[in-house]
Amino acid sequence: MSEEKVNLSYDAYRRNLESLPNEQEKERLQWIWGYFCNILNKSKDAVEKELGVPWEDICGYFTGFYGQPKYKRDDVIEAIDALIRRVRKQRPLVRTIVAERIIQALDYCRDYAAMVYIAGPTGRGKTYTSEYWAEQNNHGRSKFLRVPSDCTRRTLVLLLARAIGVSVRGSTADIELNIHKALGPRNVLIIDEAGHLLSKSGRPGGAIELLRDLHDITKCGVALIFTDVYLQEIKRGKNADYFEQFLGRLEFPVEIPKVPRRDEVRQVLSSFFGDTLDEELVSFAYAQATGRDGKLRTLFKDLYRAEEFAREKGRPVTKADLQLFVKWRKSGGAWPEDK
């Protein structure tokens, strides 16, 4: 199937949004617009496949020009509501103490239109939890962007414009103006790998300043997600004095410990084994998550593989299943035998 992109007018979408009679309808239209632009990259084929209705009706729903019998619009609404339910169920989240803290920071960012930051080592759930939060908080209002390495201001502007759905034609200044017009206090920008926005030369300024400008001008919430090494550079690097002012603007800081906590590991295991846990199992899993080759993300992968293995056998997952897949991973991937 081809991935035909369409250049649908943002202005037409906004006019239609403002004409809707109630907040529920506005929330639905914003959600599907955000999903279409940010998740499906404005692919006509993808949105038709996701909703199971013709593009003509989807386009009509976006712009307000239906040109079809009214029941067609009702079909689109029913399909969108079903997609929302499906998307929100497909990403499970284990509510560890760290995940809860990340969610609290993002809730604060949304509720107070604040700038916040979340920092920690890789494999600690920053990205996964933030993506989960974005899916639960209206794709049209919450934008999750992963920043590429050595990201310039121009690159960030284009990423934001495409995620929001505004035109990417013209100069960088023109596109920035379009972004300013599209954002407001009810929007949240979640920027993953925000450390990539730091100037490669180490000089102050650069792409990260755009986010401060957007917050100051549009009053939108901004959540920056840093890998811990970048946060240390900001705090202790040669431009620490400059970035001290920047960090001073960030509220609700979340700095995740490098080593997973034992209670964290217990919470993870509870989601697979239930609340009654063998402490030997907790100790074994904790050792995997904190060992030299371990991370909490690695433990999750081992647990999911063990759970799937047990499901195929028609029984609950056991400690032996987890041990089997830990051994398999450490052996370099030699397939475990069913003994």
102 and 86, same domain (yes or no): no
pLDDT digits (tens, 9 = 90+) for 167-187: 998 999 999 999 999 999 999
What pLDDT shows up at residue 203?
Answer: 60
Which region holds residue 261: left if phi is over 0, alpha if psi is between -120 and 50, else beta?
Answer: beta
Confidence of residue 1 (pLDDT cuts 50, 70, 90): very low
CA distance 97 to 18: 40
Starting at the edge strand that comes first in sequence, how are the strands of the sheet with 251-255 ordered? Answer: 142-146, 188-192, 221-227, 115-120, 251-255
CA distance 261 to 263: 5
Per-residue pLDDT, averaged over 94-123, amounts to 94
CA distance 286 to 207: 39
The helix or strand, by DSSP H or E, that contains position 97, with its residue range, turns out to be helix 97-112
118 and 223, same domain (yes or no): yes
Q: Residue 238 belongs to a domain with what CATH number?
A: 3.40.50.300
Using an 8 Å Cβ cutoff, are 184 and 113 in contact? no
Q: How many domains does the chain have?
A: 3
What pLDDT shows up at residue 228?
Answer: 83
What pLDDT shows up at residue 214?
Answer: 94
Question: With pLDDT > 70 as the criterion, what percentage of the chain qualifies?
Answer: 89
What pLDDT shows up at residue 33?
Answer: 95
Residue with the larger pLDDT of the pair 46 and 202: 46
Per-residue pLDDT, averaged over 269-291, amounts to 91
Of 230, 255, 280, at which residue does a domain stop?
A: 255
135 and 271, same domain (yes or no): no
Of 226, 255, 284, at which residue does a domain stop?
A: 255
270 and 325, same domain (yes or no): yes
Confidence of residue 242 (pLDDT cuts 50, 70, 90): low
Confidence of residue 195 (pLDDT cuts 50, 70, 90): confident
Confidence of residue 200 (pLDDT cuts 50, 70, 90): low
Which residues are CB-neighbours of 333 under 8 A, at least 6 positions away? Answer: none
What pLDDT shows up at residue 2?
Answer: 43
CA atoms within 13 A on the CB side of 71: 0
Using an 8 Å Cβ cutoff, are 32 and 12 in contact? no
127 and 173, same domain (yes or no): yes
Of 231, 255, 279, at which residue does a domain stop?
A: 255
| Structural domain boundaries enclosing 227 | 97-255
CA distance 183 to 220: 6
Q: Supply the mean pLDDT for the chain.
A: 87
Closest by CA to 128, choosing from 106, 156, 99, is 99
Tokens read off for 279: 């402490």
Confidence of residue 235 (pLDDT cuts 50, 70, 90): confident
Confidence of residue 323 (pLDDT cuts 50, 70, 90): very high
What pLDDT shows up at residue 258?
Answer: 87
In a domain, 2, yes or no: no
Q: Is residue 205 over pLDDT 80?
A: no
Number of other residues whose CB lies within 10 A of the CB of residue 104: 13
